[in-house]
A = this chain, B = another copy of it.
Amino acid sequence: MDSFLLNDIVKRALEEDLGYGDRTTEALFPAPLPATGFIVAKEDLVVAGNNLVQAVFQTLDPSIDFEEKCTSGGSVRKGARIAQVSGDARILLKGERTALNFLQRLSGIATLTRRFVDRIKGTSAQIVDTRKTTPGLRVCEKEAVHLGGGGNHRFHLGDLILIKDNHISLCGGVSQAIRAVRGTRSHSLKVEVEVNTLIELEEALQESVEIIMLDNMPIPEIKKAIRIIKDKAPATLVEVSGGVDLERVTEIARCGVDLISVGALTHSAPAVDISFDILPGSRLSGQESPVGRKVS
Contact indicator B19/A158 (Cβ below 8 Å): yes
Q: Is A86 positioned at the interface, with any CB of B under 8 Å from its CB?
A: no
Contact indicator B156/A19 (Cβ below 8 Å): yes
How distant is the Cα of A33 from the Cα of B134 in the complex, in angstroms?
Answer: 29
Using a Cβ–Cβ cut-off of 8 Å, how many residues does chain A contribute to the interface with B? 112
Digitize A185-229: 1 where CB-to-B-CB distance is under 8 Å, 0 elsewhere.
111111010100000000000000001000110000000000000
Contacts of A157 in B (CB 8 A): 17-18, 20-25, 94, 97
Nearest Cβ distance between residue A165 and chain B, in whole angstroms?
A: 6
Contact indicator A268/B270 (Cβ below 8 Å): yes
Contact indicator B166/A295 (Cβ below 8 Å): yes
Q: Is A59 positioned at the interface, with any CB of B under 8 Å from its CB?
A: yes
Within 8 A of B (CB), among A13-36: 13-29, 33, 35
Contacts of A254 in B (CB 8 A): none
- Of A23, A159, A184, most B-chain CB atoms within 10 Å: A23
Q: A17-B131, A27-B161, A96-B166 are in contact. List 18 more A-B contacts (CB 8 A).
A: A2-B94, A3-B60, A17-B138, A17-B157, A18-B158, A19-B19, A20-B156, A22-B157, A23-B157, A28-B177, A28-B181, A101-B131, A101-B133, A152-B186, A152-B188, A164-B296, A187-B258, A264-B270
- Could you list some 10 contacts between A and B, CB below 8 A? A2-B94, A25-B167, A28-B163, A98-B135, A151-B187, A152-B188, A153-B188, A154-B188, A166-B278, A187-B258
Contact indicator A151/B186 (Cβ below 8 Å): yes
Number of copies: 6
How distant is the Cα of A133 from the Cα of B271 in the complex, in angstroms?
Answer: 10
How distant is the Cα of A190 from the Cα of B211 in the complex, in angstroms?
Answer: 12
